[in-house]
Amino acid sequence: MDRMSTIRRGLIAALPVCLVATTVILLRADAIEAATGGSENELGGGSATGWMVTWTIITLAFGVVSTAAFDYLVKEWDWTGAEYLSFALSIAVALSALAFLRVYSGEMHPYRIEYSALNFAYAFGFGCAVPTLARGSAERRLLKTEVHPISQ
């Protein structure tokens, strides 16, 4: 697949994940602001609005990276959408488990609930959307080649 197609599919896949991430942040806004204590040194500047902007940018970038990774895995290892989703869910479980371990100065991570929700939003969102968009893109390419018969 070409780079522009990868970027376009990644940004399209990121849109629903951005909506879910924004919803999670809005639902947990009080907890986020309480945990940051209004510190400007925190991710997103310590406010829910800052978090929404930051996570929207992260999600858009991650959409492109996850699409490029899927294209690579399909090309090199012949992965399917089910394998990609399983891989994404495995990473989400591992990262979420780390947030609940008492490794942060003897405490659990202060954003363990928010990060876990975002991990699974990313896993399900990108794990389902990226293979679906890739399949649709491949089908469109096939249709284009079938429309233009080879001249004799």
pLDDT at 109: 86
Q: What does 138-152 look like in DSSP terms, one character per residue?
A: HHHHHHHHHHSPPP-
pLDDT per residue as tens digits for the range 19-67: 999 999 999 999 888 887 666 666 666 788 889 999 999 999 999 999 9
Residue 127 backbone phi and psi in degrees, to 5: -65, -25
What pTM does this model have?
0.86
Q: Which residues pair with 107 in a beta bridge?
A: 104
Greater confidence (108 vs 82) lies with: 82
- Rounded mean pLDDT of 72-85? 96
Cβ(36)–Cβ(46) below 8 Å: yes
pLDDT at 1: 63
pLDDT at 106: 83
**Domain coordinates in residue numbering, the chain:** 3-147
Copy the structure tokens of residue 26: 């809005």
DSSP state of 47: S
- Rounded mean pLDDT of 73-102? 96
Copy the structure tokens of residue 23: 């919803």
Nearest to 13 by CA among 128, 117, 90, 92: 128
* Residues in CB range of 115: below 8 A, 6 or more apart: 95, 96, 99, 109
pLDDT per residue as tens digits for the range 98-132: 999 988 788 888 889 999 999 999 999 999 999 99
Cβ(85)–Cβ(128) below 8 Å: yes
